[in-house]
Each structure stands twice: as C-alpha cells, then as structure tokens.
Amino acid sequence: MRAVDLRDSFGRPLRDLRISVTDRCNFRCTYCMPKEVFGKDFPFMPKDSIMSFEEIDRLAGIFVSLGVKKIRLTGGEPLLRKNIHQLISMLSLREVELAMTTNGVLLPRYAPSLSAAGLDRITVSLDALDESTFAAITDSGHTVAAVLAGIEAAESVGLGPIKINTVIKRSTNEDEILELVERFSNREIAVRFIEFMDVGNTNGWSMDEVVSAEEIRDIIGELSIIPPNNPSDVAKKYRLPNGGEVGIISSVTEPFCNECTRARISSDGRLFTCLFSNKGLDILSLMREGKDDSEISAVIQEYWKSRDDRYSEIRSKNSKIEDRVEMSYIGG
C-alpha cells in the first residue's frame, strides 16, 4: 500500500502507534493497577479476544502505510506475553522504529532474545531507588535490585540508549528525583519524569498529588533546554551540567495535545486516538469478519480524520470524560 498523508481534524498526522500486547501485569502499581481493583477476581481479557501475533503484524502493516514511523509495544507488562520475541521478529521487517516499555524485572531472562529479534530500544519504568518506596508503589513483591538487573541486561545486549520512566506522585517519591538523576545521568541513560495522570477511573487521582513539571525542574536545579528532534516527542528534554540528559513529561500542567500524533491499540484490537478516550474502534472484529486491508485502512482513515482529541488541554477547564479506559488496557 502507498503511504498517504493522513491528518486529523486539527491537522495532526498519525506517526506513533502503541500496541498493548496484554492487559495483565506482574506489578500492582498503585497509580495504574491498584490491588483493590485488579485483584485475583479481576476479569482480565480471555485469550480468544486478544490479538494474535499475525493480527498485530497485519495491523502494523496497515498503520505503517498510513504514516506510522514508530511502534511501541506495551501493556500491561509486555514481557508477560508468551514468545513476544516472535512478534518482534515479525514487526522488525517493517520500516519502523521498534520500542518497548517494560517494568524491567523479566529483562534478565528476555533481553537477549528481544535484541536478537530486532527490538531497537527499550524504556524501563522505575519510580524509586529506595526499596521500601518502590515496594509501596509497585505493591507486588518485586525489588529495585531486580529492575536494575533488568536495565543492566538490556544495556549488555545493546538495547540502548535506554530511557527510564518515573512517575512522580506527591508525598510518595518526589524525594527520589535527585537520586535517580545522579544514578543514571552519567551512564547515557535518560530519566524521564512523568506527571501523575488521571488515566482510567481506579487510581484515585487528585491534582493535589501531581508534582508539576515546574517543581520537578526546580528540584533538579540547573538545566538547559535541548531543542526537540521531533515535535511529537512527549518529553521535553534538558541537559544537565554533567552533560547527561533528563526528560519531563508534563501532560497535566503543560499539555502537548497540539503535537500529539499517537494512536493506541488495546490487546483486544480496539483503536484509541487519545489516552483519555472512553471508546475505541473495534478493528479486530473487522479483521475477523474477513475485511481486506484496504477496507480496514479506509475505516481507520475516516476515524483518524474525525479525531478531535485534546483532553489534556481542556482538562483544566473542568471537562471530565466519564468511564475512561484504564492505562493497563489501552497501553501506556
């Protein structure tokens, strides 16, 4: 299929695709999958409603023909998806940058096969270096030491430059900011601090718990802005006095919807054009009904053309979408 210049109703192209490969996770981060909600009786998706690797790869091909340049595999925890390296091998034949976001604890086991299969880059989430703070946030019995071992394993097989994602929540881990910067900034690992977001309905979000990008910058101290390579980069990048880099993702206090070129596909094959959507387009059913690629492409194009999402920009005007989908379902 020939590439088309697809634009949404605000003129934004479609460039980034995040694919959730599972809605399950081995962590129970309090801001994402709180244990009280995602307990042992939680109705995770049944296997037959989850996209197969062939279905994901086929969809990826359609999205690439619509302008997607970067695919990120996420979840849930993507390394819980059995034989994920096989999917990576398939996607690596497409002309896209291929990345993954993971909580990292399974990387010592899987990093070599991910790298061999053609994964380009990895982002590891790590919210604290202090074991008890980490345990309180992730609520699952895993350790900082295990995540650090995962980062080492990824580095050793060349899955860099590695990025670290750190969600900062007030009175929880803002005192970790400087330690994380010190720990990683001289190792060519960029830590990206993320404002706690009101995704989903279960994390009890309140504005009082958001540590703003401005506060994070003040805590870090001397920083100089690095001009963005790509206008759709979600993180604003800064240079540290030692030459290292940090990023800040300020979705709440300094929204960037006008540059948002991202689409997400849940593991049951629904397309979401905003992290805060409450409805998705069921593409998996179209595939399973036997629609061909050009028919599916036409449906996606119409959906993207009508996209008018800018939730973070209008959040401050008290606009509230009810029944938003959860981050673990839509893919962070």
Kindly list the residues in this chain that would bind ligand SAM in the complex (CB under 6 A): 25, 31-32, 74-75, 77, 101-103, 125, 165, 167, 194, 196-197, 199, 203, 327-328, 332
274's tokens: 């905003």
Q: Which is nearer to ligand SF4, 92 or 201 (CB)?
A: 201
List the strands of the sheet with 163-168, edge to edge.
Answer: 224-226, 236-239, 245-249, 190-195, 163-168, 121-125, 97-102, 70-74, 16-20, 262-265, 270-272, 281-282
CA distance 257 to 1: 29
Kindly state whether residue 173 participates in binding ligand SF4, applying the rule CB under 6 A: no
- Shortest separation between residue 122's beta carbon and ligand SAM, angstroms: 10
Residue 276 touches which of ligand SAM, ligand SF4, none (Cβ within 5-8 Å per kind): ligand SF4
Residue 202 touches which of ligand SAM, ligand SF4, none (Cβ within 5-8 Å per kind): none
Residue type, 324: R
Task: Name which position in 256, 270, 324, 330 contacts ligand SF4 (CB under 6 A).
Answer: 256
How many Å separate Cα 293 from the centre of its chain? Answer: 26
Task: Name which position in 257, 296, 299, 321 contacts ligand SF4 (CB under 6 A).
Answer: 257
- Shortest separation between residue 330's beta carbon and ligand SAM, angstroms: 8
Q: Which is nearer to ligand SAM, 74 or 250 (CB)?
A: 74
Kindly state whether residue 324 participates in binding ligand SF4, applying the rule CB under 6 A: no
Q: Which residue is nearest to ligand SAM (CB)?
A: 332
Q: Which is nearer to ligand SF4, 90 or 105 (CB)?
A: 105
Do the beta carbons of residue 244 and residue 181 sit within 8 Å? yes
Residue 329 touches which of ligand SF4, ligand SAM, none (Cβ within 5-8 Å per kind): none
Which CA distances in Å does 271 have to 19, 85, 190, 308?
9, 23, 30, 14
Q: What angle do CA 274, 97, 1 make, to 5 degrees?
A: 80
Q: Which is nearer to ligand SF4, 184 or 276 (CB)?
A: 276
Give Cβ neighbours of residue 195 (< 8 Å, ≥ 6 apart): 167, 168, 210, 211, 212, 213, 249, 250, 251, 252, 253
CA distance 332 to 330: 7
Q: Which is nearer to ligand SAM, 6 or 19 (CB)?
A: 19
Which residues 266-285 are close enough to bind ligand SF4 by CB under 6 A? 274-276
172's tokens: 């929880």
Which residues sit at the interface with ligand SF4, rule CB under 6 A? 25, 27-29, 32-33, 75-77, 103, 125, 251, 256-257, 260, 262, 274-276, 309-312, 328
